[in-house]
């Protein structure tokens, strides 16, 4: 056990809740931010699904990235901050600024509060979207932490927001951090066991497949288990070698969407009988993207090589992630177990 207190922002989020689990299991006390007090019971219930009854080792603070109020109280007394609260693809965003403003300003708001409270280090949950999109086909692969997404290329608003938000965080710490340390974790597509109905857009892909989504799109991505993403956050929080560094959270080679579908069908039997391995024609995806906001964001990624490497985290921090197959299958199995398919 330790008396150190860690703030995890966005406590209703998929990655955040697994970070809370990792911290509690490591003996830390945790405070987490939520926008609505009514969701405290939900967070505690999800943690119990993950095997932890948090009790008084978990506390809550009400804070919203779009509002200055509450952040000083949220970080008060904290030794570390894990900051992952950020807008994610929901279809509600109608303008580019709907993505970029909250992501950039939210990062700066948390960093200012952390600096003023004397926090030792902030671990920022960034994304592969800040590293590997917008590049030309001849750009070096696999992507690593020296890469930044090329905003002059064809970049969807979500990835643009993640890129600008992470850059703003590094710039702030360099100019105004006053000793505040920063590390960033950049996950690829995150799978692994879900804890409840509020999960990430990556997992929605698996849920939709299990419910019989009619076909696969010609996109690929690397993947990682959420438990390993949480473990990497913990290592980045405490290891001296992580100061001022970014870490890609990824394992194995990039997988095409149809390869994920085939894995589900091969390994899950009857549970995956609705999974389609038909591939949608690219032109059909482009036409649908004209009216569907989520598909519109996918169009720039058709046939795009998303290969990335997580060797830096393995080398510097001793990170040992699960296989991509375990990440995908444990995700699907948890969706079935909790009755959350589709």
pLDDT at 251 (0 to 100): 96
Q: What are phi and psi of 319, to 5 degrees?
A: -70, 130
What is the rounded CA–CA span in Å between residue 224 and residue 315?
A: 17
- For 134-188, how does the pLDDT look when each residue is reduced to its tens digit (9 = 90+)? 999 999 999 999 999 999 998 888 899 999 999 999 999 999 999 999 999 999 9
Q: Map out the domains of the chain with their CATH numbers.
A: 5-337 (3.40.50.720)
pLDDT at 92 (0 to 100): 57
Give the bridge partners for 59, in sequence order. Answer: 31
- For 1-12, how does the pLDDT look when each residue is reduced to its tens digit (9 = 90+)? 678 999 999 999
Nearest Cα to Cα of residue 305 among 136, 187, 185: 136
- Asked about 136 being catalytic, the answer comes back as no
* CA 116, chain centre distance (Å): 26
- SS3 category, 276: coil
- For 85-101, how does the pLDDT look when each residue is reduced to its tens digit (9 = 90+)? 876 555 555 678 888 98
Residue with tokens 């375990």: 326
Query: Quick one: pLDDT band at residue 317, thresholds 50, 70, 90?
Result: very high
pLDDT at 342 (0 to 100): 55
- SS3 category, 14: helix
pLDDT at 37 (0 to 100): 86
Give the bridge partners for 251, in sequence order. Answer: 223
Lowest mean pLDDT among 37-51, 90-104, 129-143: 90-104
pLDDT at 298 (0 to 100): 84
Rounded to the nearest integer, the mean pLDDT of the chain is 93
160, 162, 274, 312: which one is catalytic? 162
Does residue 183 contact residue 123 with C-beta atoms inside 8 Å?
Answer: yes
pLDDT at 65 (0 to 100): 87
Lowest mean pLDDT among 11-25, 95-109, 172-186, 251-265: 95-109
In the predicted structure, residue 212 carries a pLDDT above the cut 90: yes
DSSP assignment letter at 216: B
Nearest Cα to Cα of residue 87 among 67, 75, 101, 71: 101
Rounded mean pLDDT, 238-245:
98
In the predicted structure, residue 106 carries a pLDDT above the cut 60: yes
pTM as predicted: 0.95
Identity of the highest mean pLDDT range in 79-93, 194-208, 240-254, 279-293: 240-254
Six token digits for residue 140 = 């070096």
pLDDT at 67 (0 to 100): 87
In the predicted structure, residue 314 carries a pLDDT above the cut 60: yes
Six token digits for residue 157 = 């608003």
What is the rounded CA–CA span in Å between residue 23 and residue 2?
A: 10
pLDDT at 158 (0 to 100): 85
H/E segment holding residue 182: strand 181-187
Six token digits for residue 206 = 């698996």
Six token digits for residue 25 = 């299991």
Answer left, alpha or beta for residue 183, where phi above 0 means left and psi between -120 and 50 means alpha: beta
What is the rounded CA–CA span in Å between residue 189 and residue 14?
A: 12
What is the rounded CA–CA span in Å between residue 180 and residue 48?
A: 33
């Amino acid at each position: 056990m330790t008396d150190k207190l860690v703030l995890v922002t966005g406590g209703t989020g998929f990655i955040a809740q697994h970070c809370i689990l990792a911290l509690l299991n490591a003996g830390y006390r945790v405070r987490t931010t939520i926008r609505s007090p009514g969701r405290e019971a939900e967070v505690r219930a999800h943690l119990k699904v993950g095997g932890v009854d948090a009790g008084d080792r978990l506390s809550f603070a009400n804070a919203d990235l779009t509002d200055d109020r509450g952040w000083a109280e949220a970080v008060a007394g904290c030794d570390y901050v894990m900051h992952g609260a950020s807008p994610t693809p929901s279809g509600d965003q109608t303008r580019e600024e709907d993505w970029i403003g909250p992501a950039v300003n939210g990062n700066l708001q948390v960093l200012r509060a952390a600096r003023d409270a004397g926090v030792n280090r902030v671990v920022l949950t960034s994304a592969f979207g800040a590293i590997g999109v917008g590049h030309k086909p001849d750009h070096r692969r696999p992507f690593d932490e020296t890469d930044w997404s090329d905003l002059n290329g064809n970049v969807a608003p979500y990835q643009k927001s993640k890129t600008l938000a992470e850059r703003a965080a590094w710039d702030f710490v360099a100019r105004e951090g006053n000793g505040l340390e920063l590390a960033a974790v950049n996950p690829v597509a995150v799978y692994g066991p879900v804890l409840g109905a509020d999960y990430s857009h990556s997992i929605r892909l698996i849920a939709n497949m299990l419910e019989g989504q009619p076909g696969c799109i010609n996109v690929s991505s690397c993947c990682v288990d959420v438990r390993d993403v949480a473990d990497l956050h913990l290592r980045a929080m405490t290891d001296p070698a992580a100061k001022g560094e970014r870490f890609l959270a990824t394992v194995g080679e990039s997988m095409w969407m149809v390869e994920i579908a085939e894995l589900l069908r091969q390994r899950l039997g009857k549970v995956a009988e609705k999974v389609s391995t038909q591939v949608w024609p690219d032109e059909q995806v482009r036409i649908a993207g004209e009216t569907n906001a989520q598909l519109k964001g996918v169009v720039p990624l058709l046939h795009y090589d998303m290969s990335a490497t997580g060797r830096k985290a393995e080398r510097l921090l001793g990170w040992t992630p699960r296989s991509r197959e375990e990440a995908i299958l444990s995700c699907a199995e948890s969706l079935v177990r909790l009755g959350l398919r589709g």
